[in-house]
Amino acid sequence: MSYTENKVTITHTMAQKDLAPEIKNGRNDLVSTLSLKSSSGVKMYNVNVANPTGKIDNLGQAVAVYVDASDYGFYGCNFTGYQDTLCAHKGRELYSRSYISGAVDYIFGMKANAWFESCDFETVGKGWITANGNRDTNLSEYVFNRARVFGSSGNGSTYLGRPWNPYARVVWQNSELSDVVNPAGWAIWDSATSTADVTFKEFNNSGAGAATDKGPPSAVS
């Protein structure tokens, strides 16, 4: 199964800057191209979903896919965006042999246990691939297995992730990381955010971006 010959594309151009400022809640959901909330779960095959908003300096969050329920599977899908492309937000989620592109925190969310199997990730600008928002010890974790990371944004221009919240948990394993990935691997959110309970791990990766001995100890546990 592959995403390369998909025929169906769902597209919608909208970012948080397009919302009225008095709207305080659910802003990522409101701008998303495709919002999924069914409690029974969904399996999606060979569908493209895009939010082609592009780079915006302020309020540029522009979600393509927002997954807000458990037991979802995506197979041979293609998700494209720039900032916050995929919100893997709640429950058990599987992404298999799919393609996801973006630049800034383009895979993010707070309460999902998401497994990405044999997926391709294309970085289209400087930034961070993941921003896991786990607020407790076991609410959320992202695992990337047999992934490929590539892009044209320049050597070392992207990081595997940064912690959106204090218990962020992300693992990259058995993956091919090109030179677009900074060999430091991980970055902090800001100087005020503690990384004491963050879990960022790499295992058995290959490629120019896979060096694990250069990461900042304060950002990895």
Instruction: Report the C-alpha gap between 216 and 211 in whole angstroms.
Output: 12
Q: What is the pLDDT of residue 74?
A: 98
Token code pair at residue 193: 């955010």
Question: Is 120 among the catalytic positions?
Answer: no
Other CB atoms within a 10 A radius of the CB of residue 80 amount to: 22
Q: Provide block-wise average pLDDT over 10 residues at a time, the chain (221 residues).
A: 95 96 93 92 96 93 96 98 97 98 98 98 98 92 99 97 96 98 96 90 97 50 46
Look at the domain 8-19+26-219 and name its fold. Pectate Lyase C-like (2.160.20)
Pick the catalytic residue: 18, 68, 71, 105? 105
For residue 102, which of 53, 168, 170 has the smallest C-alpha distance? 53
Task: Tell how far CA 90 is from the center of its chain.
Answer: 14
Name the 3-class secondary structure at 171.
strand
Instruction: Report the C-alpha gap between 147 and 93 in whole angstroms.
Output: 16
Sorted by sequence, the CB contacts under 8 Å of residue 109 that are 6+ apart come out as: 67, 86, 87, 88, 89, 90, 132, 133, 140
Q: Which residues pair with 61 in a beta bridge?
A: none
Q: Angle 119-112-17 (CA atoms, 0-180°, nearest 5)?
A: 85
Where in the chain are the domains?
Answer: 8-19+26-219
